[in-house]
Structure 1
Amino acid sequence: MTYGVIDVGSNTIRLCIYEVEDGRIKSLFNNKTTAGLIGYVDGGELTRKGIKKACDVLSAYKEMASHAKIKELFVFATASLRNISNTDEAIETIYEETGLKVDVLTGYEEATLDFKGAAHTMHLGEGIMVDIGGGSTEILVYDHGNIQDATSLRLGSLSLYKNYVSKLFPKKSEEAAIREKVLSELKKVKFLRERQFHTLVGIGGTIRAVKNMNNDMFGLPRQNDRVPAKKLPLLLDEFHDEEKSTLKKVLDVAPDRIHTLIPGMLILDTICRNFCCNEILVSGYGVREGYLYKKVVLEE
């Protein structure tokens, strides 16, 4: 059977089409729109303009999915609609305008579905899993296929850019402020205190962009999915040139993340340092696949 999943994120909205057969999920199509919904949040509310932006993208994706002969189209939202004060208004307006029902995930649900998605394609022993999104960062601790605990930090690559960066790229003082904010939020999570993990499983577009940059910089094959944590400072150093040179480097690696890549890398590097991680293992699957697995495979 073929299914569609729309992921309404703080930075991007993505439509994915999958084939599900015998409990296995295969990606057939993937399209994303950089909607930047977090940029439409004012005083904690998603503005009417922001809700309209979401409706416009969702309507276009609904039309696109109708041509794919899918059995069902699922829509979920993460921090984009979770971390606003008018969540109910937003999802009601979206339903009225598009006919689509949006499932707003809690931070814990997002983290656990990340795990289900990643575990679907890789063997997970013991470690920490991190998903850096635009408006939140999910962190989950696992041990031999079992979730030990999970949390969602209310910070992401786009929210940190919005709150801490004055120009296109952060200055040294702004980088320091971002790192301080990440450490401050980590210290609030009791189950993460005084922990060390050899391996960090990375999920999401920011960490995939870091992998691509690492492979490009060090001449590694595109399919390489491992990044030594000690390489992160070297990758960040690439962005300390003059702005024009930095702009070219970001455009070469992740043009759709022109302003969020560096804040996202700072989150990742700070987390790796805090937990003494040696290696980042990048997963191609995450919350979307975990969500579909839960909705289709586990409920059949």
Structure 2
Amino acid sequence: MKGKYGIIDIGSNTMRLVIYKRDKSGRLKEVENVKSVARLRNYLNHDEYLSENGVHKLITTLSSFRAITDFHQLEEVKCVATATIRQATNREVIQEMVQRETGFSMTILSEYEEAYFGYLAVVNTTPFTEGITIDIGGGSTEITYFKDRELVEYHSFPFGALSLKKQFVKNELPTQSEKEEIHHFIRSQFDSLHWIKNKMLPIIGIGGSARNMVQIDQAMKNYPLAGLHLYEMPPEDIRLLGIYVNSLPLDKLLKLEGLSKDRAELMLPALMVFDELASITKAPSFILSRKGLREGVFYESMKIHPTKAFDVLTGSFDDLTKDYEINMEEVKQVTRILMCMVDELNRLNVLAVNEQERMELKRAANVFQLGDYIDAESSSQHTFYLLANRTIDGLMHKERLKLALMASFKNKTVFKQYANPFRKWFAEEELRVLRLYGAMLKFSYSLNATKRNVVDNVEVTQEADGLLFHIKTRMQSDAEEYQAERQKKHLEKLMKHPIHLRFY
């Protein structure tokens, strides 16, 4: 796949055309996203027949999408439909009309396919090997349970945010009695699934309702990082958000930051579904996956299926390496020096770096000062911004921030400047350790200043007047000696030991 590819997602509430293009790392990058609030569910009558007006709305919208896909000269367009078209008794006629009137071959996804594609996107873009996914659409809600990255259970409920409103709510917003009816209905539906009860696993939400909930939460908390993918909420915050949304009249709800106007009337039913699922599963957290059904359709077409051995994070770092043209030979040399230092300082009980921290250090070494790609003079600032605000599949937001703080280390003043908006995220000791690891990274890079792999080995001994670093070199190392002498002061302050360097 080298050109542009499109997917049309015909949902019960919205219809969306998304165009992707392969970037140089091989990822599918979204370049266009066109949305139409068709609300096809409202055109489905009591006999499950999509009315003539509904079919007209569908065809008209698809025709507008056709003009866009023709302009972009896409190599392939996939057109998929979910609950409303699936449930329509005249679906075969609709399929024929879509093909004849627009030229699109519309695939009607089964309940299993809709659930499976969402799960497929989650296990290929998040760090979770076990969890529960939920996708609340307009006319259906898909839930899956996966373990060891394999799909174990799935279920598609024939209700969604739009159909709940249509079934239970007479006016724009539900009354107290209508809310109680919705609550009891959702509870009775979830009670039928024995395999979700008391699972105590993270819930991974996909789709527009989950995305809007997270956007509102971020706006209310003045969240300092960019990005929605892998944003985490404690279940109690879902309940508090539901109480707040429930307290707003429609005019204020329409102005609520983070909430799309076309979802204003549907937000409360969706929040009730999320809250009920978190309660019945006893979930420790709710996480948003920005990747869902559409990405899952592409993964399936590219035959990207989950395997136990696949590491999402490794794939993300491969992408970073290609996108920012990182020199992996230099990374290997610096990482080797860094791990020599870690082993020696651990041996002397100067540090106590555990396996998890070793892995985090190696990751930071992989992307240390990648901002050089943009501008060497302001490399630190670019490094911090890019890593802190870029979606990195496999890293939660706090992990992403830790990576950014270590990989952008320049000095104490700049580190504090970057960390200041996030002080509530970390204890003081956590910040001290991150600063220390950043200083160790910078020192390790100074020992390869000329990028000639000069340093062969590093040993450390405890002397009466401090730590003595024995640095064995393969060739003349004047530049490395100069840079290391300049950088050691950061380590001395944080480790509270004088450091002496001996090159030989």
With structure 1 as the length reference, what TM-score do the two structures score?
A: 0.93
Q: CA deviation at 1:277?
A: 1.2
User: Take 1:190 and 1:86, find their aligned partners in 2: how far apart are those partners?
Assistant: 34
Corresponding residue of 1:118: 122
- Residue 35 of structure 2 is aligned to residue 29 of structure 1: no
Corresponding residue of 2:289: 283
Q: CA deviation at 1:162?
A: 0.5
Listed as ranges, the matches of 1:50-129 within 5 Å are 50-129=54-133
Higher relative contact order (CA 8 A, sep 6+): 1
Specify which structure has the higher proportion of strand.
1
Q: Is 1:131–1:137's contact at 8 Å kept on the other side of the alignment? A: yes
**Bigger Rg, structure 1 or 2:** 2
Out of 142, 146, 152, the residue aligned to residue 148 of structure 1 is 152
Indicate how the Cα distance of structure 1 residues 289 and 242 shifts in structure 2: closer, same or farther if over 3 A, else same.
closer
- Residue 187 of structure 2 is aligned to residue 183 of structure 1: yes
Measured against aligned partners, the alpha-carbon deviations of 1:257-298 in whole angstroms (never above 9, x if no partner) come to 121111111111111111111211101100001101212455
For 1:102, give the aligned amino acid.
M
- Residue 208 of structure 2 is aligned to residue 205 of structure 1: yes
Corresponding residue of 1:266: 272
Task: Determine helix, strand or coil for the equivalent of 1:197.
Answer: coil
Out of 11, 17, 41, the residue aligned to residue 9 of structure 1 is 11
Out of 242, 263, 271, the residue aligned to residue 236 of structure 1 is 242
Out of 290, 299, 303, the residue aligned to residue 293 of structure 1 is 299
User: Take 2:89 and 2:193, find their aligned partners in 1: how far apart are those partners?
Assistant: 23
Give the unaligned 5+ runs of structure 1.
Answer: none
- What's the Cα RMSD here? 1.9
Query: Mean Cα displacement is larger for which, 94-103 or 239-248?
Result: 239-248
For 1:235, give the aligned amino acid.
L
For 2:281, give the aligned amino acid.
F
Out of 24, 39, 43, the residue aligned to residue 42 of structure 2 is 39
Aligned residues: 298
Q: CA deviation at 1:248?
A: 4.1
User: Take 2:27 and 2:149, find their aligned partners in 1: how far apart are those partners?
Assistant: 18
Task: Determine helix, strand or coil for the equivalent of 1:259.
Answer: helix
Q: Is 2:216–2:257's contact at 8 Å kept on the other side of the alignment? A: no
Out of 151, 159, 164, the residue aligned to residue 163 of structure 2 is 159
Give the unaligned 5+ runs of structure 2.
Answer: 306-504
Task: Determine helix, strand or coil for the equivalent of 2:72.
Answer: coil
Percent identity of equivalent pairs: 29
Corresponding residue of 2:401: none
Indicate how the Cα distance of structure 1 residues 17 and 248 shifts in structure 2: closer, same or farther if over 3 A, else same.
closer
With structure 2 as the length reference, what TM-score do the two structures score?
A: 0.57
Corresponding residue of 2:390: none
Q: Is 1:51–1:94's contact at 8 Å kept on the other side of the alignment? A: no
User: Take 2:177 and 2:255, find their aligned partners in 1: how far apart are those partners?
Assistant: 21
Specify which structure has the higher proportion of helix.
2
Q: CA deviation at 1:244?
A: 4.6
